[in-house]
Amino acid sequence: MSSDDEFRDARKVFGPRDHESNNQAVYYKDVLDTTAEDDDQNSLIDWATFDQLLEMDEEDNHDFSHSIVSNYYENTELMLENMDSALNNKDLSELLRLGYNLKGSSAALGLIKVKGTCERIQNIGNRQDEDEQLSESAALERIAPLLPRVKKEYSEAKEYLTSFYGDDE
């Protein structure tokens, strides 16, 4: 199956790619438990960013981009474990650092939801939530529910990318 066929099949599941606007993301309705905030942030992949990664591949295969994505999986799973440990140890500075790192690597692949939640973790880790200054304990309390959310968003992205690359996981 060619990559164009894979994209067409993925778009049947995740929605059309909008070439006519600046918003080149795949939209879909989250069928799991959602909050109003989840509904507002319903993009999975920024295609403009992901296409840039795919352009680095050889014409006949996706080995290069696949290796980048596989490395992302390994690093992200380790970072998520470390985020759990940092939360258990009430280590706000480590949560800030990990949120920042995961935000950057997710943004590089165009993983919009993961990037957005990590940006929120980073902001709260800086003890800032919207216009409110937070105490360290308040920041930790606000980050706690974001960890399951970012794990879910990562799982959704991994599921999609695994399907795209035809991985047997």
What mean pLDDT do residues 1-28 have? 41
Contact between 53 and 109 (Cβ < 8 Å)? yes
What is the structure's pLDDT at 17?
40
Q: For 49-60, write each residue's pLDDT tens digit.
A: 999 999 999 988
At 168, the pLDDT band (50, 70, 90 cuts) reads low
No. of helices (H) and no. of strands (E), the chain: 8, 4
Integer distance in angstroms from the first to the last C-alpha of the chain? 18
Distances (CA, A) of 97 to 111, 146, 148, 160, 166: 19, 15, 18, 27, 32
For the chain, give the percent of residues with pLDDT over 70. 74
H-helix or E-strand containing 133? Answer: strand 132-133
Hunting for tokens 């606007």 — which residue is that? 21
Show the domains of the chain with their CATH numbers.
Answer: 3-165 (1.20.120.160)
Asked if pLDDT for residue 120 goes beyond 90, the answer is yes
- More reliable by pLDDT, 36 or 5: 5
Asked if pLDDT for residue 37 goes beyond 80, the answer is no
Phi and psi angles of residue 34, each rounded to the nearest 5 degrees, phi first: -130, 160
- More reliable by pLDDT, 117 or 29: 117
What is the structure's pLDDT at 84?
98
What is the structure's pLDDT at 5?
52
What mean pLDDT do residues 22-42 have? 35
Structure tokens at 61: 């295969």
Phi and psi angles of residue 27, each rounded to the nearest 5 degrees, phi first: -105, 145
